[in-house]
Amino acid sequence: MHVPEIDCASAQPFNPRLSAPTPTAALPRRRRRRLLISVPLAFVGIWTFSMLDRRAGAQREREAFTMQEFYGQTGLLPIKPVDH
Q: Is residue 22 part of a domain?
A: no
Is 17 part of a structural domain of the chain?
Answer: no
Measured CA to CA in angstroms, residue 81 lies from 25, 60, 63, 69, 76 at distances of 47, 25, 23, 18, 10
Residue 34 vs residue 53, higher pLDDT: 53
Q: Is residue 31 part of a domain?
A: yes
Mean pLDDT of all residues in the chain? Answer: 77
The percent of residues above 90 in pLDDT, for the chain, comes to 18
pLDDT of residue 11: 56
Is position 58 within any domain? yes
Q: Are 11 and 3 in contact (CB under 8 A)?
A: no
Asked whether residue 35 is domain-assigned, the answer is yes
> Does residue 83 lie in a domain region?
no
Q: Does residue 57 fall inside a structural domain?
A: yes
Domain that holds residue 51: 27-71
Domain count, the chain: 1
Q: Which pLDDT score, from 0 to 100, does residue 31 have?
A: 73
On whether residue 13 sits in a domain, the answer given is no
- pLDDT tens, position by position, 54-66: 999 998 988 888 8
- Residue 33 predicted with pLDDT over 90: no
Query: How far is residue 41's CA from residue 45's CA, in Å, rounded to a whole number?
Result: 6
